[in-house]
Amino acid sequence: MKSFFWKVSLYKFLEAVNLIGIIFTLLFQKNGLNPFQISLLIGFWSATQLLLEVPMGVVADKFPRRNVLIAAMLIVALGYVFWLKGGFLFYALGMVLWGVKNALTSGTFDSFVYDELKSIKQEEDYGKISGRIEGVTQIGFMISAAIGGLLAQFNFNWVIIASVISSILAAFVLFTTKSVLPFKSTGEVKYFSILKGAFREIKANTTLLFIIIFISLAFGISGAADEFWPLIFNLIGGNTAIAGALMALEFGAFALAGYSFPIFEKLKFKYWHLLLVALSGILFIIFGTRGSFILLPLIFIASYLLKLALVKFNADLQHQIRSDQRATILSVKALTFEIIYLISLLSFGFIANKLGIMSLIYIWGGSIIILALLFRKKLAAASD
C-alpha cells in the first residue's frame, strides 16, 4: 500500500511539474502570437477535452486504467515535441493532444486509486489518500511555475524538453505499479441514460439550479482569466523568471485557501462566500487602476478569496443534491462551466487584442461583482 501511494504521488508530482504547463502562454507570446490567437489555442484544448470527456471515460472503463494513464502521458509528451517545431499549427496540434490527455485522465486516475484501495479492502481511506495526493500536486504546480519561468528566461526549448522528460518519467512510474481489475466506473458509460433524471432534479430545485449557474458564470469567467495572468505578470515583471515566480505565488494562494477553509466555514454570516466574491472583484479593479508591481499582493489576496468562495459553493452544491445522480449532476455543472469558460476565453482574447490585456482586469472584476449582487438572494438560501 505504501509503495503504491508513493508511486502514484510521484506520478502526480511529475505530471504537475512539467515546466511548460504553467507558462505556455508566454511561449506563444514570445513567438509572435497575439492574445486572440493564444485564446484560440487554449480553446482547441478546452473543446477537445469537452468533446472527448464521455468517450474517453468509456475507454477507461474498458481497458486497464493504469495503461490508459500511461498512454495519456505519452500522448501529451508527443504534443510537447510538436511545440519544439514552433508556429500556430504545431502549437494547435500540441494543445489538441493535451486535451486528449486530459480527457483520458479525467476521472480515470481517481478510479485507478480507488481500485487499488478496494483490492486491499481499504477504500474507506480514499478521501485521506486523495487529499494527500492533491497536496503533492499543488507543490508540483508551484515548482513548475518558478523553475519553468526561470529556465524560459534562457531558452524555452529547454523548458519544453524538460516537460517531455517529466511526462515520460510519469508514464514510467505508472508502469512500475500493478494493474488491478476495475471496481469503480468513471461514470461516463451510463452517462446519457441518467442525464434526463439529473436535469429533472436541477429544474425542480431552484437553489441547486442557481448554484450551478453562478459557479459556471463567476468561476468560468475567473477560470478563463487565469490563463491570462502569466501574460500580465510578464508585462509587469518584465521577464519570464519574475512571471513564473508570481505564478508560483498564485498557486500558493490557491493551496492556502484549501487549508484555511475550515476557519471560514465556521462563520455564522451566511453571505460570507458572496461577500468574498464581490471583494475579490473590488481588489481586481483597484489593481487595474494602477497595474503596478507594488499592488500585486491584491491579486494574490483576490485569488485566495475566490478559491475560498469556490470551495464553499461546491460544498453548498453537494448539500443540495438529494438523489443518487450526484455524479451526473456534477458532470452537468462541469459541462456548463466549460462552455462559459470557452466563451469567456475567446471573448477575452478578442478584447485584449483590441484594447490591451490590462483592460481585461476591469471586466473580470466588474463581472464577478455584478454576479454576486444579482444572485445574492438565491444563493444565500443554500446556506439556510
Summarised one tens digit per residue, pLDDT across range 18-57 is 999 889 999 999 999 999 999 999 999 989 988 887 676 6
Cell of 8: 502514484
Share of the chain above pLDDT 90, in %: 37
- Same domain, residue pair 200 and 162: no
Give the chain's count of helices (H) and strands (E): 18, 0
Let me know if residue 182 belongs to a domain. Answer: no
Tell which of 118, 149, 175 closes a domain. Answer: 175
What mean pLDDT comes out for the span 225-251? 90
Residue 201 clears pLDDT 60, i.e. is over it: yes
Share of the chain above pLDDT 70, in %: 82
Which residue's entry shows cell 486572440? 36
Q: What's the pLDDT score for residue 52?
A: 82
Answer yes or no: are the C-beta atoms of 111 and 185 closer than 8 Å: yes
Amino acid at 204: A
Rounded to whole angstroms, the Cα distance separating 231 from 252 reads 18
Residues 232-253: b if buried by 16+ CB within 10 A, e if exposed: bbbebbeebbbbbbbbbbbbbb
Tell which of 175, 208, 236 closes a domain. Answer: 175
Amino acid at 80: Y
What mean pLDDT comes out for the span 158-167? 95
**Weakest mean pLDDT among 29-43, 235-249, 303-317, 343-357:** 303-317
**Weakest mean pLDDT among 4-8, 11-15, 285-289:** 4-8
Tell which of 124, 144, 175 closes a domain. Answer: 175
Q: What's the pLDDT score for residue 128?
A: 63
Please tell me what DSSP assigns to residue 218: I
* CATH assignment at residue 300: 1.20.1250.20
- pLDDT-derived band at 336 (thresholds 50, 70, 90) equals confident
- Same domain, residue pair 311 and 338: yes
CA 118, 120, 122, 127 torsion-angle sign = negative
Contacts of 192 (CB under 8 A, 6+ apart): 54
- Same domain, residue pair 234 and 165: no
Residue 303 clears pLDDT 70, i.e. is over it: yes
- Same domain, residue pair 162 and 216: no
Q: What is the number of structural domains in the chain?
A: 2
Q: pTM for this structure?
A: 0.80
Percent helix, strand, coil in the chain (nearest 5)?
A: 85, 0, 15
Identify the domain containing residue 268 by its residue range: 191-383
Answer yes or no: are the C-beta atoms of 209 and 329 closer than 8 Å: no
CA dihedral 235, 310, 379, 359 (to 10 degrees): 0
- Same domain, residue pair 43 and 147: yes
Tens digit of each residue's pLDDT (9 = 90 or more) over 58-114: 676 677 788 889 999 999 999 999 999 989 999 999 999 999 998 888 767 777 777
Answer yes or no: are the C-beta atoms of 222 and 368 closer than 8 Å: yes
**Weakest mean pLDDT among 115-129, 179-193, 284-298:** 179-193
What mean pLDDT comes out for the span 151-167? 94
- Same domain, residue pair 136 and 225: no
Higher pLDDT, 196 or 298: 298
- Same domain, residue pair 103 and 161: yes
- Same domain, residue pair 208 and 317: yes
